Structure 1
């Protein structure tokens, strides 16, 4: 049985989210992750299926092995998936109590356009990224 790539649902017009996507593409050397902007049908459907607003999610979504992960847990899972030193970064992130790290993440997510800007059009994955 082959392992299905995990799917990262992100805000395609958010500058911070687009930078996160660039980071993922740079470090995902074995193709563990696929990308879906929340502005397309697949992204919207995945957000809704996992109880997140498709119109204004305050988190990106990682769907891995059929389960949805959000907030800092999703970030830690992505970092862990890169291997090497990124596994240590994921462990350090998880060492911070979730009650502290998730509210900080959600605050940034709620204010992402004001803090980092917004693109005029949605960043779409290139061939092989979706």
Structure 2
């Protein structure tokens, strides 16, 4: 059983998958940083300086006691975080699209094998040669 597991783990597909997961995590970190630190402030600037991560619709305000302690936490729909997640998804999809497109350009196109005479053509040629 251990030998079968060793053979399974050392096959190319598993190693390729592991590399893809690690690279995906690294690319995800880069894209998250880009969206959080560059794209969102830029977009927020054009919509009046708003930060999407702080956008929310408050359903119930927080209840604060006389000593300043929060008695009941705020209940809010945080749609800004959801917008950030949508923008991150689009950004990651676009980056992966560019990577796959660049990879496909490096591949050589598969050429069709040269076409020759078909079996029928060869048999017809043989028949005609035998008739002579």
Which structure carries more helix by proportion?
A: 2
Bigger radius of gyration, 1 or 2? 2
Which structure carries more strand by proportion?
A: 1
Larger RCO, structures 1/2 (Cα 8 Å, 6+ apart):
1
Tell me if both proteins adopt one fold, taking TM over 0.5 as the criterion: no
TM-score by length of 1: 0.21
